Each structure stands twice: as C-alpha cells, then as structure tokens.
Amino acid sequence: MKVKINDFDALIVVDMQNDFMPGGALPVPEGDKIIPVLNEYIKLFESNGNPVFFTRDWHPENHISFKGYGGIWPPHCVQDTKGAEFHHDLYIPSDNKFIISKGYSRDFDAYSGFQGTILNELLKERGIKRIFVGGVATDYCVKNTVIGGLNLGYEAFVLEDGIKGVDVNPGDSEKAINYMLSKGAVLINKNEVK
Ligand code: VGL
Ligand code: ZN
C-alpha cells in the first residue's frame, strides 16, 4: 500500500528512551536497531512540515508500576535521569516537535500516549486526521497508543519497520500487531510512504 503524507498527518514516536534500549533498566531487545529508520520517518515528516510527537515514560522514583510499589516492572524512566532521556542517536527536529510525558504521577500509569496527556488536543488543534506510530514497545505503549488513537477517531498507521517489542511472553508482539490490525490500524513500511 502506498501512502502519501498530507497536511493532516502526524508522526508519533513512542518511548525511544535509554531505559528501553539494550543496556537500559527495561530493555527492548534490539530497540536501538529501529533508530535509523525512525530518523528517516522523522526527517520525512519534518521536511513536509508535519508535526512530530515524541512520547516518553516519565515516572517518579516510587511509581506504582515499579516492583516494590505494586507494579510488575523494574524501576525505569525515572524523571530527570539518564535512563529517561531519549537515545542520543534519535533525531529530534528543532521545530514543530512536541514532547509528551506520561505516567508522571506516582499513582497513575499510562501505556498510551493519550492517557493523562494533551496529545489529543494538540493533534485536534492542528487538524490531524491520521497518525503514524513507531517506537517501543510494540506490545505495550505502541499498541496502547495506536488503540487510543483509533478510539479517538484517528486513522492509524503502524510503522512495521519502526517498532520493537519486549515479548515478556513469546508472541506478544505478533499478537499486539494482529490486535491493532483487527481494530482498523494499517501496517506500512518506509518504502510505502512518500
Ligand atoms: C512501557 C512497560 C512499562 C512501554 C512503559 O513504553 O512500552 N512498557 N512502561
Ligand atoms: Zn513505564
């Protein structure tokens, strides 16, 4: 399927933070391998004048998603730490880009970039109709951001070559992709986008 970027498209890059990369606190295997292709998408959207949204997990150090505080995850993406920073190879445009922090309150977690944020309002203000979503993890925050967007009425494209999953249980990422497709998302890769 060929897709031509129009004025009502936005790119959403999910959680490309050090803690989700190999060597980080909650690594997504090969999470860093998608950076070059994500950078291509980011530059394509930037050169077309389209906005790029970067979500980030932004947890307090006693966050409820952490082991020891009622959650299942090792502490990760603690506010203002190196682990919460974006991978330094990720290209961040200087203009028309937005950083969306989520999971920033101790007792509230968010796998979706829409939960507890103004992402929907920012997209609406700009007349965005279609979202293109890449990043990590396919089976958590990418999935929930895509589903959140579909539920809000956006058309959603999932960047097949720009996502990676954690697969806590083998097959989780594949299931997540099938679930997103069943809800109306469309899988695309870089060769199909102009
Ligand atoms: C995520 C687990 C915990 C994600 C965030 O970004 O997919 N996964 N917090
Ligand atoms: Zn988290």
The full set of domains in the chain, from first to last, is 9-192 (3.40.50.850)
- The Å distance, Cα 111 to ligand 1 centre, comes to 6
Ligand 2 centroid, distance to 104 Cα (angstroms): 9
Rounded distance from Cα 137 to ligand 1 centre (Å): 6
Q: What is the pLDDT of residue 81?
A: 98
A 10 A CB-CB count for 121 gives 10
The bridge status of strand 130-136 relative to strand 97-102 is unpaired
So what's the pLDDT on residue 4? 96
- In the numeric block, which tokens belong to residue 140? 């958590």
Query: Which tokens is 171 given?
Result: 């097959």
Starting from the CA of residue 166, give the closest ligand: 1
Listed as ranges, residues in the chain with pLDDT below 70 are none
Structure tokens at 159: 């960047």
Q: What is the pLDDT of residue 99?
A: 98
Residues flanking ion ligand 2, Cβ below 5 Å: 57
Would you state the pLDDT for residue 108?
92
Residues marked as catalytic: 15, 102, 141
The reported pTM is 0.98
Segment 40-96, tens digit of pLDDT? 999 999 999 999 999 999 999 999 999 999 999 999 999 999 999 999 999 999 999
- Distances in Å between the Cα of 42 and the Cα atoms of 6, 24, 77, 102, 109 are 14, 23, 22, 21, 27
Nearest residue to 165 (alpha-carbon basis) of 71, 33, 59: 33
**Which residues have CB under 6 Å of ligand 1?**
15, 20, 57, 65, 73, 136-137, 140-141
- The pLDDT, as a whole number, for residue 194 is 87
Strands 52-57 and 9-14: parallel
Q: What pLDDT is recorded for position 171?
A: 97
Which ligand gives the minimal distance to the CA of 141?
1
Quick one: tokens of 102? Answer: 């989520």
What is the model's pLDDT at position 1? 80
Decide: 38 and 13 in contact? Cβ < 8 Å. yes
